Amino acid sequence: MTTIQIMSQVSTEQLLRGVASLPADEFEEFVDKVLALRAKLKVPSIPNQEAQLLHQINQGLSAQDQARFSNLEQKRKDETLTDVEHQELLKLIEQIEQFTVSRMQALTKLAALRQVSVPDLMRDLGIKTPDYA
């Protein structure tokens, strides 16, 4: 894990520069934690059911699996993927699809609990729709 050395007082700009220097997988992990913190700060005390749904919404591939997926996806684009790697990529894609389905189910349930639309809930939680959607 990369560490960022900071002084006892750090400006937002300094913090952002430090975060910008993180490797991609650690940056994604950091963003996930910040989004979880943001959700917690917006709703400091939430019912257990909502907490469980938020946890489910924030589930995804581990940083290691995400890095492997990115590597395999690049190999696929470069047409250098072996048969074994192709099978590994398919398994990772299946995992991603399962996370996506689970996430959407949790978003739908949480939106119903809060009596808001799913797009409004996603906006409130800082969840962006992927470019391909």
Place of tokens 């349930």: 109
Are the beta carbons of 56 and 103 closer than 8 angstroms? yes
Percent above pLDDT 70 for the chain = 88
Residue 132 falls inside a structural domain: no
Residue 1 falls inside a structural domain: no
Residue 119 falls inside a structural domain: yes
Taking alpha carbons only, the member of 72, 74, 70 closest to residue 89 is 72
Are the beta carbons of 66 and 28 closer than 8 angstroms? yes
- With both helix axes pointing from N to C terminus, report the angle between 24-42 and 12-20 in degrees, rounded to the nearest 10: 140
Look at the chain and report how many structural domains it folds into: 1
pLDDT at 8: 65
Residue 85 falls inside a structural domain: yes
Q: What is the pLDDT of residues 10-34, one digit of tens each?
A: 788 888 888 889 888 888 888 888 8
Residue 114 falls inside a structural domain: yes
Residue 130 falls inside a structural domain: no
Calculate mean pLDDT across residues 33-40. 81
